[in-house]
Amino acid sequence: MMEQLSFLGGQQLPVEEHFTPDAHIVLHNGDVNDFVATLPDNSISLIVTSPPYNLGKDYENRVSIEQYLETQAKQLNNLCACCAWMGASVGR
């Protein structure tokens, strides 16, 4: 467990680093493909992601715009396919 988040009404929920069936919040910092492969069917309620923006930051590997767009399209397609396969609503 990483920490706890407080919500209105004072309820505190633990933030987990790995999926467990009873987890309310799981925060994964890493490759989405590695993480999604660990999830059971019908377990995704919400996904928030922050892709690399290809701006030349110290933590990025800058590539051509064509390669960047192709890579992002593949990532998003894989993620959406997993959500649909897992029974989540896609695009809402």
- Show the 3-state SS of the chain: CCEEEECHHHCEEEEECCCCCCCCEECCCCCHHHHHCCCCCCCCCCCCCCCCCCCCCCCCCCCCHHHHHHHHHHHHHHHHHHHHHCCCCCCC
pLDDT (mean) for 37-44: 73
Q: pLDDT band for position 49 (50/70/90)?
A: confident
Structure confidence by residue, pLDDT tens digits, 22-39: 888 888 888 877 887 787
Residues with Cβ within 8 Å of residue 55, at least 6 apart in sequence? 62
pLDDT of residue 8: 61
pTM for the whole structure? 0.53
Distances (CA, A) of 80 to 3, 17, 39, 41, 83: 28, 22, 14, 14, 5
